Amino acid sequence: MKEFNLENFPSELHDTLLTLAEQNEIHGYSEKGASGYVVFGRNKVLKRDVAIKFYYWENGDHAEPELLAKLDHKNILKIFHAAPVDSDYAYFTTKYCEGGDLDHLLDSEQTGVLKAIDVVMDIASGASFLHANGYVHRDLKPQNVFCDGDVFVIGDFGSVAPYGGNGACDTITQHSLIYRPPEVVTEKKHFKASDIYQLGIVLYQLLGGALSYEEVDWLSLQQKKKYEELVAPEDQLFATAIIEAKIKAGRVLDTDTLPAYVPLALRTFLRKATHREHTKRHESVADFLAALNNLRVRLLDWKRVEGGYLLTREKKFIKVENTEAGFFLHKNSGNGWKKYHGQKVVSLRHAVEIAETL
């Protein structure tokens, strides 16, 4: 969080910020993300912590701010107030979530298989509500999802837009590159199925799939050499073109980077949700939710822990210890950890298979 100073904001926002500062004790602001500014404060009258998001709404490429304030769902962060600043900027005020965003949680803890599914089902429930009310989100990603107590909520509405009869809207603004669906790159259209694509990417990340936020990590050695020879903004345009080519080819996700305990059925689900052709994804978020819920009841509760991997089963735990010498299995049925026959296993996949039989 940075110290609040009017000089750090566009001049068009100054009058609105001064008015908001009369109503709220402003603590600071954040520039996280490329779509605007977030101001943090405490409402003087209601005595509650708030987050105020300013975003570039372009008077037509986004939902009307006043309509956003009417959205009410347990998996959508309640908007206290929303209004345009001018024909370019708008803002909305929401509750401040002390739990932070999902990106922060990804950095601070390992999320197990069942927990990952539960989090995404929360997000998907919020997205389904948006769709039912005629909107698509267009920028579902960990930075836009917040932990509100024990519930995960969609908390950024700067990209929300109404969709037409074909379930799509034109996308003038280019949203987060790594999460940009192929049809946005090729057609500049965002469908309801495009939100499903982004939900799939978030689930992939929560399960432990590799997805770098650094543009240079998507370049080959030869491409990096050329990138380093370029100056801004040509270097970024060069990297963007390469990443967009990967998006169009359906090569953003690499399921081989998922932990070995993520089963084939869940990998297949991810490939369907993130299919490069939007018509081949789940027909709706409701279908996405139903398929994921049906899959969840058959899955085991694996997660990464310090030194290895842990499987939680009824009345017992099985740990796969990862060492330089190989993988060792330990079991705890309530009376302490015991090594499983002292057996060393060479591959993690084999160790997982054994653990799931115990």
Per residue in 17-52, pLDDT (tens digit) is 999 999 999 989 886 555 678 999 999 998 999 999
CB atoms within 10 A of CB 300: 16
Instruction: Compute CA 190 distance to the chain's CA centroid, rounded to the nearest angstrom.
Output: 17
User: What does the DSSP 8-state code read for residue 112?
Assistant: P
Rounded distance between C-alpha atoms, residue 358 and residue 355, angstroms: 5
Nearest-CA neighbor of 197 among 208, 186, 184? Answer: 184
Sign for the pseudo-dihedral over CA of 248, 276, 105, 310? negative
Stretch 50-55: mean pLDDT: 91
pLDDT value of position 213: 93
pLDDT band at 228, cuts 50/70/90?
Answer: very high
pLDDT value of position 262: 96
Write out the two tokens for 195: 């939100």
Of residues 271 and 159, which shows the higher confidence score? 271
- The answer to whether 94 and 102 are in contact (CB under 8 A) is no
Tally helices (H) and strands (E) across the chain: 11, 16
Residue 56 has pLDDT above 60, yes or no: yes
% of the chain at pLDDT higher than 70? 95
- The answer to whether 85 and 126 are in contact (CB under 8 A) is no
pLDDT value of position 59: 56
30-44, 77-91, 172-186, 264-278: the lowest-pLDDT one: 30-44
Strand 168-170 to strand 161-162: parallel, antiparallel, or no bridges (unpaired)? Answer: unpaired
pLDDT band at 62, cuts 50/70/90?
Answer: confident
Structural domains for the chain? 6-95 (3.30.200.20), 102-299 (1.10.510.10), 303-355 (no CATH)
Stretch 216-245: mean pLDDT: 96
Q: At what angle do helices 285-296 and 192-206 cross, to 10 degrees?
A: 30
Mean pLDDT rounded to a whole number for the chain? 91
- Residue 184: in which H helix or E strand, if any? helix 182-187
Rounded distance between C-alpha atoms, residue 313 and residue 301, angstroms: 7
pLDDT band at 89, cuts 50/70/90?
Answer: confident
pLDDT band at 115, cuts 50/70/90?
Answer: very high
CB atoms within 10 A of CB 163: 21
Rounded distance between C-alpha atoms, residue 147 and residue 314, angstroms: 28
pLDDT value of position 104: 78
107-116, 128-137, 268-277, 297-306: the lowest-pLDDT one: 107-116
pLDDT value of position 113: 95
pLDDT value of position 165: 85
pLDDT value of position 358: 86
Residue 87 has pLDDT above 60, yes or no: yes
pLDDT value of position 236: 94
pLDDT value of position 171: 82
pLDDT band at 107, cuts 50/70/90?
Answer: low
pLDDT value of position 277: 97
pLDDT tens column, 138-194: 999 999 999 998 999 998 888 899 999 888 998 876 678 999 999 999 999 999 999
Stretch 313-337: mean pLDDT: 92
pLDDT tens column, 188-217: 999 999 999 999 999 999 999 999 999 999
